Amino acid sequence: QVQLVESGGGSVQAGGSLRLSCAASGFTYRRCVGWFRQAPRKEREAVATMRPLGSAAYRYDYADFVQGRFTISKDASKNIVYLQIDSLKPEDSATYYCAAAQGIACRLDSADFDYWGNGTLVTISS
């Protein structure tokens, strides 16, 4: 059974940093994985995706609003995917979800993802 469990959220002041983690069980991360977020009264939006290209290469895609502040990565030995967020802004406040795809499609689009965690809440104060 596939399970994704996020952690690392919290309340942080603007300008700070957070590292979110997503621990997987039931599969390995040799597949497309992504981070999404959803703010109150807004639709879920993609943040970043990471797709394996070969033995050790990956393709990384980021939403336009990221502007170099977010970094997706993984630790294969621990089966954990991370989202590093720097220079946090109040508008980054949201519940952040990690997701994994069953197929090969790996767009910045929630429709490509089949497995989801329950989310971790990030609150940024100004």
Residue 16 CA, chain-centre distance (Å), reads: 18
What would the pLDDT profile of 34-73 be if each residue is shown by its tens digit? 999 999 999 999 999 999 887 778 999 999 999 899 999 9
For residue 36, give every residue at least 6 positions away whose Cβ sits within 8 Å of its Cβ, in sequence order, or none. Answer: 44, 45, 46, 47, 96, 97, 98, 99, 110, 113
Neighbours of 48 (CB within 10 A): 21
What would the pLDDT profile of 91-111 be if each residue is shown by its tens digit? 999 999 999 999 889 999 999
Q: Strand 10-13 vs strand 120-125: parallel, antiparallel, or unpaired?
A: parallel
- Residue 17: band (very low, low, confident or very high) from pLDDT cuts 50, 70, 90: very high
Tokens of 57: 């290469």
